Amino acid sequence: MTTGPADGLSSRFTGPVDRRGFPAYYTDSSGVSLRICEDGTFACLATTTAALANRVDGEAFYWQAAATLPTSRGTLDVEIALEAAFAERNVPSVFTRIRVRGHLSRAGSYVLNHPYGSLRINAASASEQRNVNTTIDVDCPLGPGPCGGRIDNFLRSTSLGVGYLGLAVPGRVTGGSVRNSLSLRTSSGRTLGSTRQFAIVGKLATGPANVITTPRVSFGNTARPRTRTLLVHSAGSAALTFGAIRMSGTRQVTVARTGCAARRSLAPGGNCRVTLHFRPGAARVVRGALLLSDNTRVGTHRIPVSASTSGVVSAVNGEGFGTHRVGTSSRTHRILVRNTGLRAMRISGVSVAGTGARSFHRTAGGDRCVAGTRVAAHTSCSVYVRFAPTSRGLKLARLNVRASALNSPQSVLLRGRGVR
């Protein structure tokens, strides 16, 4: 069983096939293009062109992320890769691979959480030397066409140089579509071990390369302005030249005219930043994209951007009860408390405060908001209030609602006038 994104690698950008029948490069969803890593360096695991000279069982990597996952029940070796090989004599094949091997001290079913989703694995009898051996290979076309599988974005080292996505040594990474780590848990959900260390193999295609630190930007659920920053690294063999850098799909997120947006080019090995500002507005859920144009093969990089805003109380402009004689009572007013966020919230308290608080009284109701009430996303509960003036004059108070929403507490102005 596997779960996670199903976009796969970009089907539009694969290079022409070489004399062996392999595409010159493959491109991921962020616009990074990788060729077969076979230059004989340590960064390519000392692989040379001789690896694919044997047209029977030769193999090499376009990209590989390898990790050792220590757990309380044993150690697993995990490989996630885009691999070139020969399916049979003179028949080239390219495929994505997720492979898990090792030994666990207890047989049974486990869940591996990896950068592109989750994979259910099984450990056979603990008496076997290697009782975990799971491999999932998904074929890729040798040209434009859908490249299936869960790998949509190449993991890359957080310490980038020029020409490679990593140097084949363990370190922290970024670029995972779900997470940038590995963990193993039992079928009941108990975590047995985790790691953030991956050894990355990946040689960039010739020409300029724009390697962006994150495949997406989220401002989270917030009622306040926030700022997010992306790092852009020029990792190719030629200078990176920028075109337009702008937002699409929303006006609530803007691009600061600093960093990358204020320059025209970036030399190989250079870095600059793109800064985004989010300001909450009328839209409760914001979805858009950062569009970054440059002189790479892709031309325009599209980074999804999202944000949401929580609201709590709908009657933000106040509730008027009119004029009533001292000693009498108004009709009961119903004040809705709405959860306009994306997650359930819990009411922690409802109170009336202010100089006129003694003239306003909460009453019972069927969907009453009280401490502990759980309000699902896009639903509401109610506070019932009546006005019973104890003396003449204008009475002002505030209904205060405290909840687990991000813009809590919220208050509603209550006003009424008492007469003889």
Cβ contact 312:407 at 8 Å = yes
Same domain, 191 and 136: yes
pLDDT tens profile 282-308: 656 789 999 999 999 999 999 999 987
- Give the pLDDT of residue 198: 98
Q: What is the DSSP letter of 279?
A: -
Q: Which of 174, 204, 234 is the last residue of a domain?
A: 204
pLDDT at 6: 41
- Looking at residue 12, its pLDDT comes to 59
Final residue before a domain boundary, out of 184, 204, 224: 204
pLDDT of residue 9: 67
Closest to 83 measured CA to CA, from 66, 69, 67:
66
Number of domains in the chain: 3
Q: How many CB atoms lie within 10 A of CB 110?
A: 22
The answer to whether residues 85 and 223 belong to one domain is no
72-75 contacts, C-beta under 8 A, 24 or more apart:
72/192, 72/193, 73/104, 73/105, 73/106, 73/192, 74/102, 74/103, 74/104, 74/105, 75/102, 75/103
Q: Answer yes or no: is 378 within a domain.
A: yes
Place of tokens 């204008």: 394
Examine the domain organization and report whether 196 and 258 are in the same domain.
no
51 and 73 co-located in one domain: yes
314 inside domain: no
Provide the domain limits for residue 59: 2-204
Give pLDDT, residue 404. 79
Helix (H, G, I), strand (E, B) or coil at 383: strand
Q: What is the pLDDT of residue 3?
A: 43
What pLDDT, on a 0 to 100 scale, did the predictor assign at position 10? 56
Share of the chain above pLDDT 90, in %: 65
Residue with tokens 């090792």: 102
Same domain, 76 and 146: yes
Beta bridge partners of 419: 325
Asked whether the beta carbons of 378 and 386 are under 8 A apart, the reply is: no
Is 364 a member of any domain? yes
Under-70 pLDDT residues of the chain: 1-13, 282-284, 309-318, 341-342, 366, 406
Which letter, b or e, does each residue of 361-373 get, where b requires 16 or more Cβ atoms within 10 Å of its Cβ? ebeeeeebbeeeb
